[in-house]
Structure 1
């Protein structure tokens, strides 16, 4: 005869605890897998070719988008700010890989994004 209790909600607590344990196990396994993947991807993201290809894509896209803005609204400021950002990004590639290079890259990307935002706002 199976063991039964008159307080059926205790069995609900056991099911909840088992489910919580399963979630904990899934969390621990997922964390281990994600950390392993992040460390592998991290090595790829700091590779200089990643930055060089990114800049090689950013220069023509920036020239087209910011140049189009000059033709449409006639304002040079968005293009000047975006071009400064591209120049800072290019200059960052000449630095040794360190926190300083990352800082200059982020400044350049921020200036480029600001130039695009100014360009977008000027068209409206």
Structure 2
């Protein structure tokens, strides 16, 4: 009974994770265009704090949603893919602002999104419904 109530929460967290990943990618691209092309918003868009906080939020959402799914469904792929993405995002914090940082971050958020998508797909699969009752 409790598991049936918790499942929609995890699915919502996967959707939130995908949305946050998309926002992060938009932020990276907008930063490059606005700061490089127009020279505006550098203090806000290139602030290291935004990237640090974003990585913390992404890690928490992925840990709960994907970690929960990995434990429940014994599926390693979404977890491994998302953690690889978080590693890329962490690596982006170690390079100077610019194209390298944006490329690492976009690769990272794409992998985290893919992890969330795979996690959600497994929840809707027949194998999951049979084994877990989700």
Query: What residue is the counterpart of 2:101 in the other structure?
Result: 101
Unaligned segments of structure 1, at least 5 residues:
1-34
Runs of 4 or more off by more than 6 Å in structure 1? none
Structure 2-normalised TM-score?
A: 0.60
Count of aligned pairs between the two proteins: 87
Query: What residue is the counterpart of 1:84 in the other structure?
Result: 84
Q: Is the 8 A contact 1:82 1:115 kept in 2?
A: yes
Q: Is 1:56 matched up with 2:56?
A: yes
Q: Deviations over 1:80-113 (max 9, x none)?
A: 0000000110011000111111111000000000
Unaligned segments of structure 2, at least 5 residues:
1-33, 35-39, 125-134
Aligned equivalents of 1:59 and 1:104: distance in 2? 16
Structure 1-normalised TM-score?
A: 0.65
Aligned equivalents of 1:82 and 1:99: distance in 2? 22
Alpha-carbon RMSD across the aligned residues, in angstroms, is 1.8
The structure with higher relative contact order (CA 8 Å, sep 6+) is 2
**Local SS of the residue matching 1:49:** helix
Larger radius of gyration: 1
Aligned equivalents of 1:59 and 1:46: distance in 2? 20
Query: What residue is the counterpart of 1:114 in the other structure?
Result: 114
Query: What residue is the counterpart of 1:65 in the other structure?
Result: 65
User: How much does 1:53 deviate?
Assistant: 0.6
User: How much does 1:73 deviate?
Assistant: 1.7
How do 1:7-18 and structure 2 match up within 5 A? none
